[in-house]
């Protein structure tokens, strides 16, 4: 792999994504998330900055753990309301030429036969610039609303996901031969029926006969992203993912995660170097240190601690409303706190922090400084084995504009950011042309392909 870092703009089709409270500011367009021009303008800005992709997060439930209800999430606009991310992609692709589009969709929310057609359609109309972030969902009401009677158990969701991807691979990789589409206008034959096949999948969760109803797209299977953090989730990512999102607190923590997944990938017969690792980071960019700190102070002024707390509670499934957000964490008796919350309190770098500040710290790895200082920090992450960054915004498009105009030129001068896009599909662009347009032969999906038949 090249030494450069890849950059995704991490965003969501909602009001408040990661940094809660900032939507109230006059210098953000978060309230315009329903306006298509807002998204098109952002895509053009990011393409000007040679970002590799726009990564669209998603949930299909509400954050209803904090206080035992969804009230705080609704009041904060905390990923509620939220719109379908995939429906933005056609318009953004039409307005751009090279930038990619990765979107999140849960394996619980749509039957794989129908979803395979959605993937093929998006891959066709974007000329192969699509990626799928495979998730298994974590919000309890997701399972209730989709007819599962609640969220299936954690490991069962990954078992279902393994089969879901197996069906997707069979449909996208094996149903149509490469030369099935012949477009013979003279004889009136668009495709050869003998080269289109049923998949005849019979499994624990899905029965799918096939064939796939769309012809092969530029990537066949869009590039696969994954973000599982649990032991089971990391194993799933090592088996299937081409790009993995991580959340290290520092470069050393990121390196440990990268090394673990690479070791797991080798056990599945994959080349560990086939996997790209993306760290989530927020940036506060200033022309001087003083300006950067001034911007950070403004961010802190608008930050909603209860928004962060409600987000955190939903993510871990534990109601933390029992803790006073203004209470110093040094006052919390860890012997009375269980599990994840106990670990968080004990890990606090500063025991004078309030619980609200601690929760925010747990969800935000932030770099504050001049472009040169930020570039220095990013070099440390790259040295730790990180291949890319999910750039999280405080305000949009302002946070992204600051990064594009201030940081990207410095990174380009240091060889840490691309100056031009590689040709081809998103898969080819992310590997700077080292990979072909489709999943390589080392990926599990390759085992689902049909052997070429003699002419």
Domains in the chain and their CATH numbers? 6-178+193-304+365-448 (3.20.20.30)
Give the CA dihedral 219, 243, 285, 34, nearest 10 degrees: 60
In the three-class reduction of DSSP (H, G, I as helix; E, B as strand; rest coil), residue 196 is classed as: strand
Average pLDDT, the chain: 94
* pLDDT at res. 229: 78
CA angle 55, 58, 62 (to 5 degrees): 155
Contacts of 81 (CB under 8 A, 6+ apart): 14, 15
Dist. CA 113–CA 203, nearest whole Å: 14
Where does residue 229 rank: exposed (0-12), middle (13-18), buried (19+ CB within 10 A)? middle
Q: Are 143 and 221 in contact (CB under 8 A)?
A: no
Q: Rounded to whole angstroms, how far apart are CA atoms 454 and 242? A: 32
Q: Report d(CA 249, CA 286) in Å as an integer.
A: 22
pLDDT of residue 1: 41
Give me the sign of the Cα torsion angle 290, 293, 299, 303: negative
CB-based contact 35:83 (threshold 8 Å): no
The CA distance from 325 to 320, in Å, is 9
* φ, ψ of residue 131 in degrees (nearest 5): -130, 155
DSSP state of 451: P
Question: How many other β-carbons are positioned within 10 Å of the β-carbon of residue 187?
Answer: 6
Strands (E), 194-235: 201-202, 207-208, 223-226
> Beta-strand (E) ranges in 117-265?
130-135, 181-184, 189-191, 201-202, 207-208, 223-226, 243-246
CA distance 69 to 273: 44
The residue ranges of the chain whose pLDDT is under 50 are: 1-2
pLDDT at position 337: 67
Give, to the nearest 10 degrees, the angle between helix 305-316 and helix 355-362.
Answer: 60
Cβ–Cβ contacts within 10 Å for residue 209, how many?
10
Beta-carbon neighbour count of residue 253 at 10 Å? 15
pTM > 0.85: yes
């Amino acid at each position: 792999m090249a030494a450069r870092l890849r950059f995704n703009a991490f965003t969501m089709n909602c009001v408040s994504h990661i940094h809660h409270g900032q939507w109230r500011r006059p210098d953000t367009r978060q309230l315009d998330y329903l306006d298509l021009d807002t998204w098109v303008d952002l895509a053009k800005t990011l393409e000007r900055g040679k970002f590799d992709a726009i990564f669209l997060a998603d949930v299909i439930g509400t954050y209803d753990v904090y206080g035992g209800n969804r009230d705080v999430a609704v009041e904060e606009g905390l990923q509620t309301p939220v719109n379908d991310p995939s429906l933005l992609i056609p318009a953004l692709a039409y307005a751009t030429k090279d930038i990619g589009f990765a979107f999140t969709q849960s394996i619980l929310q749509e039957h794989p036969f129908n979803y395979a057609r959605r993937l093929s359609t998006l891959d066709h109309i974007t000329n192969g610039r699509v990626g799928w972030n495979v998730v298994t969902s974590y919000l309890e009401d997701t399972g209730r609303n989709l007819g599962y009677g609640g969220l299936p158990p954690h490991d069962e969701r990954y078992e279902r996901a393994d089969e879901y991807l197996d069906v997707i691979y069979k449909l996208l990789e094996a149903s149509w031969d490469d030369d099935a589409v012949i477009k013979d206008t003279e004889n009136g034959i668009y495709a050869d029926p003998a080269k289109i096949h049923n998949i005849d999948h019979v499994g624990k969760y899905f029965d799918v006969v096939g064939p796939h109803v769309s012809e092969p797209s530029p990537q066949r299977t869009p590039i696969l992203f994954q973000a599982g953090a649990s032991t089971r989730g990391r194993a799933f990512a090592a088996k299937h993912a081409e790009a993995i999102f991580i959340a290290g607190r520092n470069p050393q923590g990121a390196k440990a995660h990268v090394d673990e997944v690479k070791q797991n990938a080798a056990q599945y017969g994959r080349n560990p170097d086939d996997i790209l690792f993306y760290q989530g980071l927020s940036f506060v960019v200033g022309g001087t240190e003083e300006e950067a700190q001034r911007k950070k102070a403004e961010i802190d002024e608008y930050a909603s601690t209860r928004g962060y707390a409600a987000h955190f509670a939903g993510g871990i499934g534990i109601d933390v409303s029992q803790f006073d957000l203004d209470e110093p964490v040094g006052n919390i008796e860890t012997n009375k706190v269980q599990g994840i919350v106990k670990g968080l309190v004990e890990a606090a770098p500063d025991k004078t922090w309030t619980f609200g500040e601690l929760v925010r710290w747990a969800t935000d790895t932030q770099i504050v400084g001049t472009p040169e200082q930020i570039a220095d920090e990013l070099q440390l992450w790259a040295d730790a084995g990180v291949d890319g960054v999910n750039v999280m915004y405080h305000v949009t498009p302002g946070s992204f504009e600051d990064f594009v105009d201030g940081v990207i030129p410095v990174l380009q001068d240091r060889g840490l950011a691309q100056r031009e896009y590689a040709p081809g599909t998103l898969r080819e662009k992310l590997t700077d042309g080292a990979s072909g347009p489709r999943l390589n032969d080392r990926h599990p999906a390759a085992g689902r392909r049909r052997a070429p038949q003699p002419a």
